[in-house]
Structure 1
Amino acid sequence: MIEQSTDMRVVRSRTLMENALFSILEQEGIKGLKVKNLCEKAGINRGTFYLHYKDIFHLIEETSFIQGLLEVFEPIHMKELIDYPDPQGAFPPITKAFEYMQQHASFFKALFHPDAPAEIQERLRYLTGTRLYDNLIQHQPEMDHESRLFTEYAIAYLGNAQFGLIHHWFMSDRAMPPEDIARMLTVYIRNTPCLDNTVPHKITP
């Protein structure tokens, strides 16, 4: 009974903090997102906040919106994308991810705002970019040192490019529909020269 009561308090505290986060982003934007402001909005003390989260981005990363994005925006299976039968079409997992971000646009636009702290920008860069290409190395465990180094640079290039495209999409008020921006990203990835030595059986559209 005591354990159940403790669990309910944890859920309640986290719900208060998540709701306060959404409220601040909606009303004040990313500039107003400070631990002090969030605690005041949620009606909790700083000790309670740090009992649950390391920092603001840890809270952001645990929100239902970010967790939902991670579920639909899983690491890309590059060979499946390269071999996708429609050479000019959007790879379905990428379309699904952009549709999800469109559905929760006010939240993600606030995070991608130029005024967002560097720590948030770096974590977003990893979650929406670099992380998606990590399996290029995992799928080729026998590669030599030179090939591994080349692949690491390819991952950095692809991750930063993808983050930049998503960032621009939000900053331009999502002028292109999710299907169109997903198609653009798919074509860009498929025609990236650095993949020639990283992914076998590249199809030339």
Structure 2
Amino acid sequence: MTEAHPDIRVIRSLALMEQALLRILKEEGIKGLTVKHLCKTAGINRGTFYLHYRDIFHLIEETAFFQGLLGAFEPFDYQDLMNHPDQAYPPLIKAFQYLHLHAALFKTLICSGAPAELRERLQYLTGTRMYENFKKSVYGKSESADYAVAYLGNAQFGVIQHWFMTDRALPPEDIARLLTQFIRKSSYLVE
């Protein structure tokens, strides 16, 4: 049985596009990010880009740093969060440490007038997605569950935005502790 080897040209093209994306975001921000500019920066043609990605948002979602964001903001167990009195919830610490590690990129994507589609996707990943298990564990199948998740997701995204807009004045562990306290003390969540 022979194992299929990835095409080195594909690997190279994908790496060039990701490097160009990160460079443009770092140097010019989200406003400088177009398929045309990305292709020119990467030294590839538009056909190569569209062979691998639907659009610029698809490219962003497929990058290693964005995939890392998915891992950092995994759905968590609400009951487990409630069992950490006076401490930051460990998954929130992990998530804020990841955001801090890639701060320049995420600040550009979260705070700089990014297109609504991208901001909504980031809001889902950094807020709403974490609370998917919350629906089941706290509200079951009630109508309130979706509203509670929307409330938590939007609030968390707002905390993340504010943290970036204040140049991450608090260390990741402290902002995670603060957010953990906000969640625990929310009167909407206490039944």
Equivalent position SS for 1:71: helix
- Output aligned runs, 1:81-160, within 5 Å: 81-84=81-84, 87-139=85-137, 143-144=140-141, 147=142, 149-160=143-154
Cα distance in 2 for partners of 1:58, 1:192 equals: 35
Q: Kindly report which structure 2 residues correspond to 1:34-45, keeping only aligned pairs within 5 A, or say none.
A: 34-45=34-45
Aligned counterparts of 1:96 and 1:47: Cα–Cα separation in 2: 38
TM-score when normalising by structure 2 = 0.92
Following superposition, the deviation at residue 140 of structure 1 comes to 7.2
Alpha-carbon offset, residue 138 of structure 1: 4.5
- Is the 2:79–2:137 Cα contact (8 Å) retained in structure 1? no
Residue 115 to residue 140, structure 1, CA distance change in 2 (3 Å): closer
What residue identity is the alignment partner of 2:96?
Answer: F
1:139 to partner: Cα distance: 4.7
* Residue identity matched to 1:137: K
Asked if the contact 1:30/1:113 (under 8 Å) is kept, the reply is no
**Which ranges of structure 1 fall in alignment gaps of 5 or more residues?**
198-205
Q: Distance in 1 between matches of 2:54 and 2:129?
A: 21
Task: Please state whether the residue corresponding to 1:112 is helix, strand or coil.
Answer: helix
Give, as a single letter, the amino acid of the residue that structure 2 aligns with 1:23. R
User: Matched residue of 2:170: which SS?
Assistant: coil
Asked whether the 8 Å contact 2:78–2:137 carries over to 1, the reply is no
Q: Are the aligned partners of 1:98 and 1:179 in contact in 2 as well (CA < 8 Å)? A: yes
- Give me the CA root mean square deviation: 1.9
1:176 aligns with 2:170: yes
Q: How many matched pairs?
A: 190
Structure 2 counterpart of 1:201: none
SS in 2 for 1:173: coil
Aligned equivalents of 1:21, 1:138: Cα separation in 2: 38
- Which residue of 2 is the match for residue 26 of structure 1? 26
Partner of residue 77, structure 1:
77
Taking structure 1 as the reference length, the TM-score comes to 0.86
Structure 1 stretch displaced more, 161-170 or 131-140: 131-140
Contact 1:112/1:167, CA 8 A, preserved across alignment: yes
For residues 81-123 of structure 1, the C-alpha deviation after alignment (integer angstroms, 9 at most, x for no partner) is: 0122xx2211111111111111111111111123111111101
Percent of paired sites with the same residue:
59
Q: Which runs of 5+ in 2 are unaligned?
A: none
Partner of 1:64: 64
